[in-house]
Amino acid sequence: MGEKVIGLRETERGLKPHFVLVHGIGGGGWCWYKIRCLMENSGYRVSCVDLRSAGIDQTHADSLLSFDDYNKPLIDFMSALPDNEQIILVGHSAGGLSVTEATHKFAKKIRLVVYVAATMLKLGYMTEEDVKDGVPDLSEYGDVYELGFGLGPDQPPTSALVKKEYQRKIIYHLSPHEDSTLAAMLLRPGPIKAIQSARFVAVADEDHNVDKVPRIYIKTLYDRVVKPEQQAAMIKRWPPSDVYVLDSDHSPFFSTPFLLFGLLVKAVASFGFGLNHL
């Protein structure tokens, strides 16, 4: 009941929804530049978070060994939000893990979570099935990663970056060349050891119940990273409130920005903000 009251007050004040956009591994807030422009030109409030070692954050990926460290910027952002504000939280790719953790911790501050070609696992990487469904398998393309070994050459890798010659073919094959060129300049190694340690504890109380927050999944039909069968498996195991579909590659914020923007607006209209404020 409390959540609905908050939503009504926001609408009564004439405030448009506040979108918080979370990038995937190796990316940064810059990934969302087209979506941010479309949203702000339409009057929405938008925040793009840089997780640690991403975007303009200066942390080295090989120094991050826990998911809590990696995801700290988002958790700090959520902590600083006023208690009476509810946001729309959007995660892309591995950013799905980030938004899931935030939902476990701050369910009352989140109106809706949207997973865009994202890892959607309720408890993170708890089982082999979670890894199969949620971790990209790019082995069909060959030796595609530049790996970092922050713990030493005899230990598992701590960071990974898709080599430049494979980035367009795998991540951006339907995107404009300008955007894949920009991405090649800005992508940074992602802290894979930290991300693969993502595990969450479900809490049943009202303030932290992750299942109380509506979820939308946006499937990307021509995705070569989080493949359509992986997306379908995660949707089946933890069914969201609704599923939308885009004819896009793994990066719809580049390849189909107007359609992605339209689906985000549609999602918000379906879950609690009056159409007159959209």
> Which of the following is catalytic: 50, 92, 93, 133?
93
> Which of the following is catalytic: 23, 92, 104, 250?
250
Structure tokens at 101: 């953790």
- The yes-or-no answer on residue 68 being catalytic is no
> Which of the following is catalytic: 50, 62, 133, 223?
223
Asked if 49 contacts 77 with a C-beta cutoff of 8 angstroms, the reply is yes
Q: Which residues pair with 21 in a beta bridge?
A: 48, 90
Exposed e or buried b per residue across 229-259, where buried means at least 16 C-beta atoms within 10 angstroms of its C-beta = ebbebbbeebebeeebebebbbbbbbbbbeb
Q: Using alpha carbons, list the distances in angstroms from residue 174 to 127, 165, 231, 246.
A: 33, 16, 19, 12
- The yes-or-no answer on residue 69 being catalytic is no
**Alpha-carbon span 117 to 155, nearest angstrom:** 30
Structure tokens at 187: 């992508």
Three-state SS for 134? helix
**Alpha-carbon span 105 to 108, nearest angstrom:** 9
Burial of 158 (0-12, 13-18, 19+ CB in 10 A): buried
**Alpha-carbon span 218 to 122, nearest angstrom:** 17
- The yes-or-no answer on residue 250 being catalytic is yes
Q: Which residues are catalytic?
A: 93, 223, 250
